[in-house]
């Protein structure tokens, strides 16, 4: 009892302040700026869309990149833009029942209004896809929710820097679709950003990119014929153990990329032994070895990553020279939901490594790097 009390008192004496989470109430501004002396007009419903009328429309459009400018100088605004203006620009809501009706029409507006507010909290300019200025709206994929500009950019003069998507933590992930979208966005010269919102209405932002693991290890083609013969003789002496093999008296093992030295011998995992056997025989590579072979041929060294919840931890130098920069998970074992993916990334970054999901793509492999990201602040 006394020990429990001491632990509680010690915890209470910690010198830190928990991060404050806003609950974004309707009817109350989030800005500290004073409201205008003359109350602003609420948005009006015109031809199936909500509009903010001039002269307020021009100011919101030019200074805050809010809405899509129409010929009558009003701006067409989305639900998330209305709420942002309500919280930060003192714009009244259309009615007391407006948000409830909006949620009934599209339940996702709950997430989108929070995501929009969070993304703009650092001063970055985020514009929903349906309100992109005509000069930038070409080839926007249906999966892109919004485009983002940096805070110092003039959105009407320069192209956006990023495409943005979002998901609830509970949603399942189509990794191939994510790779295709990321590759397409990069092909446009822009960044691919993904925002994840949890059931506490808290948002975590991620940057998706393509990694290219490269290392300094010896490659199979660079081994001499005598090294091949030595490996062949040693491999013939293998002793099965577990899922792999033990090769005794292998002090002169010529290929450091494969196997672990232990007990005066060489221990090869199943994938290592099968790859070596295939190379020695000059036979066709089994499909189950394609990813492992691709990584070995990049000069990296692979070790089990089960302690970190991944298939491999991957080194670009010999083990002991530096820490492994990457944790790689094949797509067949990748997290199925964004909640699980966020956990994998958090664990990886907590041990100062990059988390990669490996997908077959085109004639090779796409290593999708998912990292936590704060636009304009990291």
In 3D space, the residue among 171, 123, 103, 121 whose CA is nearest the CA of residue 143 turns out to be: 171
- The pLDDT of 276-298, averaged and rounded, is 97
In 3D space, the residue among 259, 307, 291 whose CA is nearest the CA of residue 361 turns out to be: 291
User: DSSP string covering 70-136, please?
Assistant: -TTS-EEE-HHHHHHHHHHS-PPPS-TTHHHHHHHH-TTHHHHHHHHHHHTTTS-EEEEGGG--GGG
d(CA 121, CA 289) in angstroms, rounded, equals 46
d(CA 26, CA 82) in angstroms, rounded, equals 11
Pairing of strands 191-197, 162-168: parallel
What's the pLDDT score for residue 1?
A: 56
Residue with tokens 């000059």: 282
CA 118 from centroid of its chain's CA atoms: 17
What digits encode the pLDDT tens for the residues 58-112?
A: 999 999 999 999 999 999 999 999 999 999 999 999 999 999 999 999 999 999 9
Pairing of strands 265-268, 244-248: antiparallel
* Residue 69 DSSP SS3: strand
Contact at 8 Å (CB) between 24 and 87? yes
- The pLDDT of 240-247, averaged and rounded, is 95
Res. 238 pLDDT band, cuts 50 70 90: very high
* Residue ranges covered by each domain of the chain: 218-287
Res. 139 pLDDT band, cuts 50 70 90: confident
Contact at 8 Å (CB) between 75 and 108? no
What digits encode the pLDDT tens for the residues 334-373?
A: 999 999 999 999 999 999 999 999 999 999 999 999 999 9
In 3D space, the residue among 36, 125, 41, 136 whose CA is nearest the CA of residue 81 turns out to be: 125
Q: Would the pLDDT of 308 be above 70?
A: yes
d(CA 64, CA 130) in angstroms, rounded, equals 16
- Residue 332 is classified by DSSP as G
pTM for this predicted structure: 0.90
d(CA 219, CA 297) in angstroms, rounded, equals 6
User: What per-residue string of b and e applies to 212-232 under the rule 16 or more CB within 10 Å gives b?
Assistant: ebebebbebeebeeebeebbe
- The pLDDT of 172-190, averaged and rounded, is 97
* Residue 60 DSSP SS3: helix
* Residue 275 DSSP SS3: helix
Pairing of strands 146-149, 125-128: antiparallel
d(CA 266, CA 26) in angstroms, rounded, equals 66
- The pLDDT of 38-63, averaged and rounded, is 95
């Amino acid at each position: 009892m006394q020990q429990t009390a001491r632990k509680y008192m010690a915890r209470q004496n910690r010198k830190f302040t928990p991060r404050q989470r806003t609950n974004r109430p309707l009817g109350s501004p989030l800005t500290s700026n004073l409201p205008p002396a003359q109350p602003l007009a609420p948005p009006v419903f015109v031809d199936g869309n909500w509009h903010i009328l001039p002269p307020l429309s021009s100011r919101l459009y030019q200074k805050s990149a809010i809405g899509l400018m129409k010929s009558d100088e009003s701006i067409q605004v989305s639900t998330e833009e209305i709420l942002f203006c309500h919280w930060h620009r003192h714009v009244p809501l259309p009615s007391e029942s407006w948000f409830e009706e909006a949620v009934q029409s599209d339940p996702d507006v709950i997430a989108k209004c929070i995501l929009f507010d969070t993304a703009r909290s650092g001063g970055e300019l985020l514009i929903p896809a349906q309100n992109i200025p005509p000069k930038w709206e070409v080839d926007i994929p249906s999966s892109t929710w919004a485009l983002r500009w940096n805070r110092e950019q003039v959105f009407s003069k320069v192209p956006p820097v990023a495409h943005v998507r979002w998901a609830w933590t509970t949603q399942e992930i189509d990794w191939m679709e994510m790779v295709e979208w990321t590759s397409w966005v990069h092909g446009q010269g822009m960044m691919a950003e993904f925002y994840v919102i949890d059931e506490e209405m808290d948002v975590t932002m991620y940057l998706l990119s393509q990694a290219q693991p490269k290392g300094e290890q010896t490659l199979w083609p660079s081994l001499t014929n005598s090294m091949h013969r030595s490996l062949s003789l040693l491999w013939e002496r293998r002793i099965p153990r577990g899922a792999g093999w033990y090769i005794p008296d292998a002090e002169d093992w010529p290929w450091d990329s494969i196997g672990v030295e232990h007990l005066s011998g060489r221990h090869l995992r199943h994938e290592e032994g099968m790859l070596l056997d295939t190379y020695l025989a000059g036979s066709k590579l089994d499909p189950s070895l394609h990813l492992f072979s691709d990584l070995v041929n990049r000069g990296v060294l692979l070790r089990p990553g089960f302690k970190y919840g991944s298939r491999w931890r991957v080194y670009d130098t010999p083990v002991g020279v530096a820490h492994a920069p990457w944790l790689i998970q094949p797509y067949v074992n990748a997290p199925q939901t964004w909640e699980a993916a966020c956990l994998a990334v958090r664990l990886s970054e907590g041990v100062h490594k990059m988390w990669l999901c490996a997908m077959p793509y085109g004639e090779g492999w796409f290593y999708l790097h998912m990292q936590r990201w704060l636009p304009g602040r990291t």
